[in-house]
Amino acid sequence: MSGILIATLLATASAKIPAGLSGGEVLYSDCGGSRQFVVGYAAGWLDKWNSDEYLARRIFIEAHPSPSRMVNSAHFAIAVGVNVCIPEGTTAEAVGKTLCTFLEENPGIREATGDELMTTMAHYKYRCPIP
C-alpha cells in the first residue's frame, strides 16, 4: 500500500504544470469553453493577492520605523498592486469573465504570463477610487 502512495506522490510531483502554460493564449482558449481553467486561475490569483495585501498591511502596522524596513515594505506594497480595489463580494467567475473580455479586447498582450495579465487587468478594471 505504501508503495502505491509513494508512486502516486512521485507521479503528482513530476506532473507539475510548466509556468508558461498559464499564459494569455491558454487562458484565452478557455474563454470560449467552460471557463473552468480561467475561473480557477482567477480564484488562485485573488487568494494570493489577498494574502499578499494582508501581509503588506501587517508589515506596515508592525514595522518599527527603520529606513530599511520602510523601503522593503514600499517595494512589497508596489509588488502586490497598491492601486487595486476589487469590490467586496466580487466572485472569481466575475473576475474570470472580466479577464476573458480583457484578453479579447487586447489580443496583442496574450503572450504575457497569467500573473502579468491578471495584474494588468486588475489595475485597469478594478482601480481604486481617487480620494
What's phi and psi for 77, nearest 5 deg? -65, -40
Any idea what DSSP says for residue 41?
H
Q: How far apart are CA 99 and CA 101, in angstroms?
A: 5
Of the pLDDT bands very low, low, confident and very high (cuts 50, 70, 90), residue 112 is: very high
pLDDT digits (tens, 9 = 90+) for 28-57: 999 999 999 999 999 998 888 777 767 766
Specify the higher pLDDT residue, 71 or 22: 22
Specify the higher pLDDT residue, 127 or 27: 27
Give the pLDDT of residue 11.
Answer: 40
Q: How far apart are CA 51 and CA 49, in angstroms?
A: 5
Give the pLDDT of residue 45.
Answer: 87
pTM score > 0.85 for this model? Answer: no
CB 110 within 8 A of CB 103: yes
Specify the higher pLDDT residue, 67 or 25: 25
pLDDT digits (tens, 9 = 90+) for 51-109: 776 776 676 666 555 555 555 555 555 555 556 788 888 899 999 999 999 999 999 99
Give the pLDDT of residue 72.
Answer: 55
Of the pLDDT bands very low, low, confident and very high (cuts 50, 70, 90), residue 110 is: very high
